[in-house]
Amino acid sequence: MTLFTGEVAFGRQRMLFDVPADADLVRVTGTTVTKGFLYAAVYDAKHAFRGKVLFEKSHKSLLIQSQNSGFGAIDGEISAGEWYLELYNLEGEFRGERAMQYQVVVQCFSQEQNTYVDEAQDYAEHLQLTSVVTSAHGIDFDYSNLLCTESRWYRGDLHAHSQLSDGHNSLQAANNIVEAQGLDFFFFTEHNICQPKLPISKQCLFLPAIEVTTDLGHFNVHGPTSSLDLRAIEHSSVATIQAGLDIATQGHSSISLNHPMMKPWHWKYQDIALAQVSTFEVCCDPTWSTSAKATDDALLILTQMWNCGHRITAVGGSDGHLQPHERNPKASEPSLYGDPSTFVYSHGLSGEGILSGLRNGQVYIERRCGLQFAIYSGDSTTQLQPGQDSKGQALTYHLSVTDSHHPYYAECIVDGVVVARIALSEQAQAVRIAKGYAWCRVDIRRGHMPDSGNIAAEQNEFEGCINALFDGSKPQFNQPLVDTWGELMERINSDEV
């Protein structure tokens, strides 16, 4: 047994340990004194990546074997020699420094000595899993595989956590909740970690992702081409952000800015190019106490992005951390995977189809209203999808909801201005939008429709959003007015807006 104790402020530490020739399993168990983000990555004697976990106050272990490794660990030869453990504390560069005290125990077992085989095998036996992350930090996943061949709207969650980072659900529990929620696709977005193995489900397509997490903001990479290897980069928020951007491939991956207006986790990195951003998480965990305000602020930012010529897709994310019986502080309802749900139109349920739909804006968001809609070009029968170039032609929206227990209404927003409000019911209502717009989006709110002239609609809770159609001939969509987040914020805070 090898014992490491110490403290990591903002920075990293490397610790060496020997694995004997007769070892069949390596167990790395860690705990911290306080809650925080202390990452632990293990590399073997051949410098192969063998697993990563976020250590917390409760003990967590990586059980590494040649096959059937435990949660967060990667299968492969147990090579004899000098292995190493990298500890990272990425908090404290721009926020208050939080030194993380830790204790890590490394144990090596032969097959005869191994008392933890059952624990590792239990993790594997209760779920059918597919290995995704390789020992070279690569991603091995078949994005073309079809779970369903229908062309339709698919419901999923773009932002969620498990016990591998700071969530409360095991992989088995998470899988059970996802299937009970009836989700079609699901991304585990662990903080700076890609899930090395994903469940195989007949009902839901689990897809690779990662939440790149820094003091300057968080963003998801959906469909990364590799996992995050921090060994060779400068220990800073900017370098970590760049490393995260580098594992996204243009035309394949989707980059999403997470909870961009929810303090203290709001987006602060000024230099990100908006052209790199595919999606924008306008609604994040609606049961969190500050979510409603953050959502309304994010919608205002989204409006200005579009006015400046950036066709960035509005999405939701549960940011689910909790078990179904748990509640966020002050919350009266559970924070569940799939609340809110992001619906993506795809020609078949595959990774390629979902990622393409996200990048192209064929997306709407909903909590629980049972939104039904169709969009037509003018008075014709030509049906359009969100994200399409409608060439600025007149539009007709047919809108309804299936939930009859709560009042809902729609707001039609043209170039940033609310041009119509209409109460929603189970009976479809038609809304007509005159031609000549640059873009048109529909937001759904829960509550009674404000009286005429009352602009305080944000007092009613956000329920959903149908992403915009646009006129691609407008000059701002060919030459955006701003390039970076910093320039956008400067414009918003100036007299130009």
Q: Pick the range with the lowest mean pLDDT from 97-101, 397-401, 429-433, 458-462.
A: 458-462
Whether pLDDT at 177 is above 60: yes
Q: Give the model's pLDDT for residue 379.
A: 77
Q: Give the model's pLDDT for residue 450.
A: 86
Architecture of domain 370-450+460-473: Sandwich (2.60)
Whether pLDDT at 283 is above 70: yes
341-349 and 313-317 as β-strands: parallel, antiparallel, unpaired?
unpaired
Q: Note the maximum CA span of the chain.
A: 78
Angle at 266 between CA 477 and CA 371, to 5 degrees: 65
Whether pLDDT at 463 is above 60: yes
Peptide bond between residue 407 and the one before it cis (omega within 30 degrees of 0) = no
Number of alpha helices (DSSP H) and beta strands (DSSP E) in the chain:
7, 28
Give CA separation, 339 vs 319, 328, 381, in Å: 9, 14, 33
- Whole-number average pLDDT of the chain: 94
Higher-pLDDT residue of 459, 493: 493
Give every CB contact of residue 246 below 8 A, 6+ residues apart in sequence.
Answer: none
Of 46, 41, 116, 114, nearest to 80 (Cα)?
A: 46
Q: Give the model's pLDDT for residue 121.
A: 53
Q: Give the model's pLDDT for residue 227.
A: 98
Whether pLDDT at 483 is above 90: yes
The values of phi and psi at residue 89, to 5°, are -120, 110
Q: Pick the range with the lowest mean pLDDT from 61-70, 117-126, 173-182, 367-376.
A: 117-126
Q: 36 with 7: CB under 8 angstroms?
A: no
Q: 318 with 339: CB under 8 angstroms?
A: yes
Residue 58 one-letter amino acid: S
Whether 370-450+460-473 and 2-114 are alike in CATH topology: the answer is no
- DSSP, residue by residue, 96-113: ----EEEEEEEEEE-TTT
- Mean predicted confidence (pLDDT) in 287-303: 97
Whether pLDDT at 453 is above 80: no
Token reading at 120: 């590792």
Pick the CATH number of 127-367 from 3.20.20.140, 3.40.640.10, 1.20.120.640, 3.30.420.40: 3.20.20.140
So where are the chain's domains?
2-114, 127-367, 370-450+460-473
The Cβ of residue 118 has, within 10 Å, a number of other Cβ atoms equal to 10
Q: Give the model's pLDDT for residue 455.
A: 47
Pick the CATH number of 2-114 from 3.40.50.720, 2.60.120.380, 3.40.50.300, 3.90.180.10: 2.60.120.380
C-alpha 158/C-alpha 207 separation (Å) is 10
The dihedral of CA 194, 196, 199, 200: what is its sign?
positive
Give CA separation, 38 vs 9, 41, 167, 192, in Å: 10, 10, 14, 11
Question: What kind and span of H or E run contains 237?
Answer: helix 237-246
pLDDT band at 34 (very low <50, low <70, confident <90, very high): confident
- Mean predicted confidence (pLDDT) in 102-117: 84
